[in-house]
Every structure is written in structure tokens, then in C-alpha cells.
Amino acid sequence: MADPTELHDLSALAQGRLIRAGEVSPRELVLHYAERAVRRDDVGAFVHLDPERAVDVAAALPLPGEDAGPLYGLPTAHKDLTLTAGVPTAFGSPVFAGFVPDVDDAVAAAVAAAGMPSLGKTATPEFGSPCYTEPEGRPAAVTPWDRTRMAGGSSGGAAAAVAAGLVPLAPGSDGGGSIRIPASCCGLVGLKPTRGRISGWPSYGEPTGLATPGPIARTVRDAAALLDVLAGRRPGDPAWAPAPSSTFLAACERPPGRLRVARFAVPILDEVEVHPECLLAYERASHLLEQLGHDVEDVPVPLPREAVAVFETVWAVLTALTPVPTEQQHLLRPLTRWLSARGEAVNGPDFGRALGAMRRHAAGALEALAPYDVVLTPTLAAPPLPVGALRDDADPAADFAAQKRFTPWTSVWNVTGMPAVSLPLHWTAPTAEAPELPVGVMLAARPAEEELLLALAAQVEAAAPWHHRRPPGW
């Protein structure tokens, strides 16, 4: 048997190979991670931890057969927005404290069907809205590269758990960057799939098409393997993406060919100051793509600035859709109350017009980018910020504006529905004020072209690997 103290050093796929070879049992692996999660969660990763349940599930798994997937027997954890039968799910809010769903949603069901026990629920901000993860009454989720700095959001707990080696990989969700933002802050791979790639069953509570689940992992291949687990459609889905030619993991083994790469680093928002390290990461990624034989071209920003106001209207209405009784609204965070009030002030026809405008902006961007195979941008406008740097309970409008300045590129691909991935290609130089910090760069592809995106991401990872990097306290 492999030395259990070294298991978390391996990629998720390497751990899966040990299980299929019989060198490690699912119970042994889950116990290894359960002990780490109990003893070493100083990054605010978990809001609910049930290691005994996970170990029992692992112990009950049959020996892996020929049909066992590459992640069979590996533990994970679900974001606190994911419906999990019999497991507390608070949606990051004290309003739902004590709520226990009686059904697994499509993500939880797919993970369970793949033989992946869940250690519990990972932290998310209230209703998954902010781009930082500071849930009420809980420690903030922080990047293990500097525990005074944010893990990002809204999948901040999931990213913190993966980056700190508390789980090998985890699903998140992304409505405006909520997978890619924490991936950049935590030095991970974060993939937002194509719209319709993963089912929203059974609640179908996101009617705009902005949000989707997706994988967070330490390597491109690990992320692809988790996407294989999560992907799939159900008969009631309002939209779906065509099935891949084989598997997303197999796509990582195919050369992407010579690609035409569009790039832009101009923020869609006015008055956004981009940190030099983020621009350096972007320029180095551009140079690396050219070295790999791809053609890199500067392009104008594909969305007009007026698209920002449209997105804000839709986002505010989404926030207002969560049912909160009047007598409990005082429990909501000021930002949530402010956004909900904005959303409730939008009448039906105006919301319909905003959705139509968003569709037209998306169509214009898709047409402008159609000649290109992929698009390169920075992921964020700054390295991970100190905890509390964006949050402003006294002025929610300022809070929201600060979030927009930190994330001026991520929501573009939620609007268009294109798949996008943040890759940890850069680290800042350590200074007296801060240790080295991860800085992501982002690649997006045409709708339903995750296979090409993953093939390119795997090629980039092979040329500039990052799996050997370990945060403090690993």
C-alpha cells in the first residue's frame, strides 16, 4: 500500500489508479482526507463536515470493476448551494440554517453514481452572489497561499479545500466567475462548462442561463475527469450541449493543432486599474501560446459597456428570486438586501427586455469571436486581496462596484455561454508585504468546444507545469 501521508501529493487521477490497482482502498483514501479535513481546515473550506458518513459510504463501495471510472473511490465535497439529500444545505445564509433537502440534485447524484463519497459541504457566500466567500457566522474562506487573503467566490470553500489538500478535487458553480475567480485566487484549474453541459435538475432555479456547475482541480486532466462525471442531460433540461466525441479526459491527450487565439486585456468596465502582475501573467501566457505554435491576435472587447448594466439587472433579479419570508429578511446580509431590492423593483416587461438585450449582446460577441478558436484574457484584475477588502456592509453599492472592478472579464463568458477555464500560470514574487500569490489566466472557447479547450489547456500545462507547487501548510 502507498504511504498514506503522501496520497494527497498525487493527482486525483493517480489516486484513482491506486484504487483500481488495489493498492489503496476507497475507505483508506477517504479516511486519509477526512483526517486532514478535521485537523487542517484553517482555510474556511467547510461549513458542514461529516467524515463518519463519508468513511461509511467509502467502506460500502464494491471493489472497482472494469466499468469503474478514473475517479472511483475518491472523496470530494459539495458546495453549500448543492442540494444533498439528508445533508444540511444553508445556501450560505442564516435564513436557511437547519434546512436539510430530501433530494440530491443532478451534481450530487452524478458524484454519488461515480462512487465518490462526499465529506460534507464547502463554504459559499449568501446565495452564491459575491465574488468573495465570507459567510455569516463562519470563518472566511482564504487562499492557503496566504491565509490573510481571500479564496475568492462564490466557490471559495471548494477551492480552498482543493488547494489545501483537504479533498483531491471538487465541484463548484459559476454564474459570473464563481469557479474561475477562486481558482485564480487559490492556484487551481477552474472550468466553467458550456451552457447546458450539466443539468440543473430538479429545481431549474436559474432561468437566465448564466450559471452552471463545473470542476475545480489541481490539474487539467483532473478537471476533465470530473467534468466527465458531472456532464449529462436529463429530459426536462431547457438547454443542452452535444455529447463529446469520446470523453473530456481523452481530449487532454489530443494535440489541439495550430489555433487562432484572440486576446484582449481591456476591462469592459470603466475606471478599472489592472494589477501589473495580472498583465504580466497575460503577456507571458500570450508568449507561451505563440511558442506552442498558435497565432495570437489582439481583438476589441467583444461586449459593449452598456452590457454591464443589463447584466446587473439580470443578476439583481436572480438574487431576488430566492424566497425569504418578510420576518427573516433582517437576517440577510446588507448586500443581499440591496441586490434583492434592485431586483424586486424590476417589473416583468423590463426583465424580459433585459434578457433580450443580454441575448443580443451575447450574439454580437459570439459573432465577433467566431473566427477564433479560443480567447485569452486575464482572469482577475488583481492577485487575491486581503479578507474584507471588497466587503462593505455599510455601503452595499460600493461593495458591488468593488466586486466588478476585481472581476471585469469573468462574466463575459457567462453571458455568451462559452466554456472558459482559469489556469494557474503565474505566481507573484514574494515581498515583505506578501508571500508569492497565484495569478490565473483565462481561456475561453466556442460554445460546446470543451474538448478543444481542454486539449489546449493540457498542452499549456505540459509546457508550463504547476502541479509541483505547494502552498504553506500543505
Which of 415, 364, 338 is closest to 174 using CA atoms? 415
DSSP characters over 326-375: GGGGGGS-HHHHHHHHHHHTS-HHHHHHHHHHHHHHHHHHHHHHTT-SEE
* 44 conformational bin, left if phi > 0, alpha if psi -120 to 50, beta if neither: left
Helix (H) or strand (E) holding 191: strand 189-192
Which of 35, 117, 39, 114 is closest to 78 using CA atoms? 117
* 405 conformational bin, left if phi > 0, alpha if psi -120 to 50, beta if neither: alpha
Say how far apart CA 436 and CA 130 lie, in whole Å. 25
Strand locations in 205-334 (E): 212-217, 260-263, 295-298
Kindly report the CA angle at 296 between 293 and 300, in degrees rounded to 5? 170
Phi first, then psi, for residue 198 (nearest 5°) are: -120, 135
DSSP-derived 3-state class of residue 166: coil
C-beta neighbour count of 270 within 10 angstroms: 9
Residue with cell 481571500: 150
- 173 catalytic? Reply is no
C-alpha cell at 193: 462548462
CB 171 within 8 A of CB 76: yes
- 192 catalytic? Reply is no
Active-site pick, 79, 121, 192, 404: 79
Say how far apart CA 15 and CA 1 lie, in whole Å. 12
Q: What is the 3-state secondary structure (H, E, C) of 216-236?
A: EECCHHHHHHHHHHHCECCCC
Active-site pick, 178, 199, 340, 411: 178
Say how far apart CA 383 and CA 6 lie, in whole Å. 29
Residue with cell 436559474: 206
CB environment 358-393: b (16+ within 10 A), e (fewer): beebbeebbeebeebbbbbbbbbbbbbbebeebbbe
Active-site pick, 129, 154, 173, 199: 154
Say how far apart CA 184 and CA 464 lie, in whole Å. 16
DSSP characters over 408-462: TTHHHHHHH---EEEEEEEEPPP-SS----EEEEEEEESTT-HHHHHHHHHHHHH
- 154 catalytic? Reply is yes
CB 132 within 8 A of CB 152: yes
Catalytic residues: 79, 154, 178
